[in-house]
């Protein structure tokens, strides 16, 4: 039998694949006064000196989501309907347990961003004390809500 963390990761991967293929499984996301980026169909690896659309409010949003997951609580308004279904109490408890050894991040940086007409994918690296780091991929629907979270394969 698979553990809940593995099941959650598999569901998130499936949701991200559906999103990447343009499958409308995530419902309609509405903007919360955050303008969507201009659409582009190309992947754009970013030079190390240039952060991805990391205005202070984007850093605050990503940090807020991480800290919510660390506490086992999330602001459901930040996520689309499908992610709210996936982030059930069992999944949140599993994520809380997995993130506990990392604690709060000291620095958040971005290394990759891909923008399409229907979503935006940004890879963030969360740096912690003791030279530890964790990469988390955030997928944002065109309306700005979070429609996917991906953690590294070895994340437990």
What is the predicted pLDDT for the residue at 156? 59
Asked if 15 and 136 count as a contact pair (C-beta separation under 8 A), the reply is: no
What is the predicted pLDDT for the residue at 54? 54
Average pLDDT score over residue span 115-134: 91
When pLDDT is cut at 50, 70 and 90, the band that residue 107 belongs to is: very high
Q: Is the dihedral of CA 105, 147, 11, 117 positive or negative?
A: negative
Asked if 153 and 135 count as a contact pair (C-beta separation under 8 A), the reply is: no
Q: CB-based contacts of 11: which residues, under 8 Å, 6+ apart?
A: 86
When pLDDT is cut at 50, 70 and 90, the band that residue 51 belongs to is: very low
Could you give the CA distance from residue 35 to residue 136 in angstroms, rounded to a whole number?
22
What is the predicted pLDDT for the residue at 3? 52
Highest mean pLDDT among 4-8, 37-41, 81-85: 81-85
CATH of domain 4-150: 3.10.450.590
118 has pLDDT over 70: yes
11 has pLDDT over 50: no
Q: Where do the domains of the chain lie? A: 4-150
């Amino acid at each position: 039998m698979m553990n809940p963390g593995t099941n959650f990761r598999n569901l998130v991967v499936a949701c991200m694949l559906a999103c990447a293929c343009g499958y409308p499984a995530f419902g309609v996301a509405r903007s919360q006064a955050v303008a969507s980026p201009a659409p582009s169909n190309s992947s754009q690896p970013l030079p190390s000196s240039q952060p991805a659309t990391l205005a202070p409010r984007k850093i605050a949003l990503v940090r807020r989501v991480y800290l919510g997951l660390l506490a086992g609580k999330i602001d459901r308004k930040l996520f689309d309907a499908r992610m709210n279904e996936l982030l059930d109490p069992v999944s949140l408890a599993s994520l809380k347990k997995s993130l506990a050894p990392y604690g709060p991040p000291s620095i958040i940086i971005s290394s990759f961003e891909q923008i399409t007409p229907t979503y935006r994918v940004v890879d963030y690296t969360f740096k912690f004390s003791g030279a530890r780091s964790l990469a988390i991929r955030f997928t944002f629907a065109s309306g700005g809500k979070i429609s996917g979270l991906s953690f590294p394969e070895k994340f437990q």
